[in-house]
Structure 1
Amino acid sequence: MWVGLAASDLLSLMRKKPVGILKRNARIAKSSKGGKPRRLTERAADFSKPDIKRGTPPAPPKPEPVLQEPRQYPFWTCQSEVDRQAAACLSKILASDANKRNGTTIKSLTLAPHIKAKKAVYAVTCQTLSYLPVIQQVLSKTTLLNVEQLRPAVAFVITYELLFGQAELQEYLQDVLNEAGVEHADELLSANIARDWPRTARVNLLKISVEEALAWLRSPPLSDQKLATLGSKATVDQLLPDVLLFPAGTDLHDHPLVNNGSLILQSKASCLPAHALAAQPGWQVLDACAAPGNKTTHVAALMGGKGSVLAFDRDPKRLTRLKANAAATGATNIVAQQADFLSLDLCSEELRDVRGVILDPSCSGSGTSHSRMDHLLPFKGQATAEQEAARLQSLAAFQTKALRHALNLPKLERLVYSTCSIHDVENELVVKAVLEEAHELGFQLVDPFPSWPRRGLPLLPGHHHLIRVDPEKDNTDGFFVAVFQRSSS
């Protein structure tokens, strides 16, 4: 059994060249009056020069009282900016996961505008999370986490760098492997961590055709010839003709076609609702809970920019993002407005000619746990059973109310209800709750994708018309789609 490595030895190790992954932050303390932080060490005033106005040296000022705040030590942080930003992201995502808050995701943090080397920070964050169970086992054999100047997230990142980027802690890793009876660290990880899906991108038909996109990808301009190999691997999805598939792990964030809005980074499952609606050019379509706007812009593109798409969202920040996405994609037929869909007068002049509706309301997002990379988190992003049940019931109540409201649009011909949830309470049971009323209004459930193999659960009549996407079998987000068609149309 290896003897535990002392924290002082580890800190010394991490400062040695060629490792060089730790540095000491400036020593900072807060004012006792709650003001801005100030440095404890400041340049002393020069009292040796005479006061020009009085001709005599000034009396030195009274010394400030010494701050008596305990545990005000310099903090250690990562020397590399990539590691430093990765540690900051890691700290936030672990706190969010521990507190059962679903708003923070790995991608939203590591791809934020202030992150300079997005690809590198994303990689270090994901790899550290992937190996976190191993890292924690290794650190348990040391006293590193007892060092008060070292925050846990920083310790995790630098330990990852040492274990898998340097050789100094390899003997401790070997100790962990020997205890587990395995040869490689990968064998200690969950099977789903290494699994990945094909990368998908939607061709924005408002700017470029599928054929033109494939031609550019396979024979890019001379300035982008290095992308030709990537483009040669692109294929067209068999079900959705405007969706391109790339090998798993393909990085498209800085691709020229993505930057100019010709390709939209969107999962295959998220592209299903717009195709299921089958809106015709010239229709007036309503997107009830539109932001951030991927489905909104997709509908606009499939309509060829003709007709109009009324997009509503009650959150002003999300609406701003929706407008930005509409502008970037060239979807000039989108009319975005801040409003609560449930408060809209469906017989108003603005809405009385709506013929198609996309209703993709707030949901649990349980089908997107893989793309959110919840599998990397210690708590898997899961709340307690009681908390989750209460949340699902609250969401289902809103979803049912919104669906019932939408079905009452006077000239509605076709409505798509979709969620990125795998729970029947948000899917089949919501449809079942409104089905009788829908029949009275002249609507029937119809099948938007006859060749799709997975169907709704047998909890209601017509369940075979419902679409379910299985994230394990279909290599995309878990999803649910129901299409209501008015019989007379």
Structure 2
Amino acid sequence: MAPPPPRRTGVAKRRMRSKDAAERSAYFARREAAAVLRRVLRGDARRRATASIKSLVYSPSVRNKKATLALVCQTLKYLPLLKDALRESDILSNKWKKQEELIYVTAYDILFGQDIAISGSVEKFLMLHKGSLQSSLAQLCTARKVKCVADLLLDKHSPDLGKPRYVRINTLKIDTESVIQEFGKITMVRKDDMVPDMLVLPAGIDLHDHPLVVNGSVFLQVSCLNIIPLFFGFSYPLFALFVFYCLLKKSASDYG
């Protein structure tokens, strides 16, 4: 007669319940994040202003606000790469394209986020194709001559990543390294090649509600060129010569 299975101790039961609760929370957070992402992307597609991500997440209908906000921001950060990987792997049928926002959020979680439980149909589907998606990302790195996915996010020559976000630092209130450290917690960031105290961040990230923006420590810029005339005392002939020099330098590097 086989011995009875060992009984779970109180500690083991509590751990199991805690794990189950965390998995349920993550499952619903992905779906809440997908709903927010849908509104953001549809607003962008129609060139129509929509509420900020933070205000959408903090609406009464969203329960797991912290996890949902993190998922939306991170999915937007990686969205161009997720689209590329999904397109290259060619795994999406019309059925799954109807849930594209949930596909994006779950693909982010599987490829760049946490280990997830296979608790839903989208999760099961993407886990089956995880290897194919990872292979597509590796091929993108090879094609764009970068070492890793993190480098893809800051690849200036990639047309797929959209227009980067520029941030000008108010050095009267904060130093550059402190800003880099703060923004580095949520996204990739680098210094601009031409303009002092200007940072370049990936496209798609929403910083309008960030504390550094709200308190005036940094200013959002449409382009790095907006601020350059200040360094020339608003002398536009000198500014024009500088821009011409930069264009020549860029052309030389492109063909060199």
- Structure number with the bigger relative contact order (C-alpha 8 A, sep ≥ 6) is 2
Q: What TM-score range do you get, normalising by the shorter chain?
A: 0.3 to 0.5
Higher helix residue share: 2
Q: TM-score with structure 1 length normalisation? A: 0.29
Higher strand residue share: 1
